[in-house]
Amino acid sequence: MAISAFAVKVPAAEPMVGDLRRLYDATVALGVPAHITVLVPFMDPARITPEVLERARLALNRTTSFSFTLNRVGRFPETAYLAPEPAAPFIEMTRALVEAFPDFPPYGGEHDSIVAHLSVAHGSAPDADAAAVELQARLAASGAVHASCTEVALIENSTGNWRDMHVFHLQRAIQPIPSIR
């Protein structure tokens, strides 16, 4: 069955994680770039109407654009990932989308909490172990990945490969005007 998902693409992470993702994450072969998932699974792409897109836009507009770093390796039993800091804006976007679309809980409701993450290895504990060790070495050698979240992509897989269906541009954060003395 075709599904869709909301994701924040992180091209700045590709130099650090691209080769590891090709080795340890099967979604790369399906066209999925380095990303932080905001909400998956979402509805069948055939059911996404202009009204659905508008409701999603309103939910995502609660979060303004922001900068983040990927500077810590995290683990789930069969997954190694980079954790974004701050994680709160990603979690806020997930909660806003779930509030707007309560029939679509994150990961189908399989988990009790929301953990923002950029998956690098997924599927087996030994692969996740190897990727985590390599990620830690790469972070120690080159430092954190710095990125900005200015948009959220609605991606879909109705053809078997993932592709952009719609891109939601986040509002720019208002910068305080410096006072003149």
The verdict on pTM exceeding 0.75 is: yes
| pLDDT per position as a tens digit, 21-45 | 999 999 999 999 999 999 999 999 9
Placement of tokens 């709160």 in the chain: 88
| pLDDT per position as a tens digit, 123-176 | 999 999 999 999 999 999 999 999 999 999 999 999 999 999 999 999 987 766
**Cβ atoms of 169 and 151 closer than 8 Å:** yes
Task: Report all structural domains of the chain as residue ranges with CATH numbers, in order of start.
Answer: 4-169 (3.90.1140.10)
Give 112's pLDDT tier (boundaries 50, 70, 90).
confident
Distances from the Cα of 169 to the Cα of 37, 58, 109, 141, angstroms: 16, 11, 27, 33
Residue 179, pLDDT score: 64
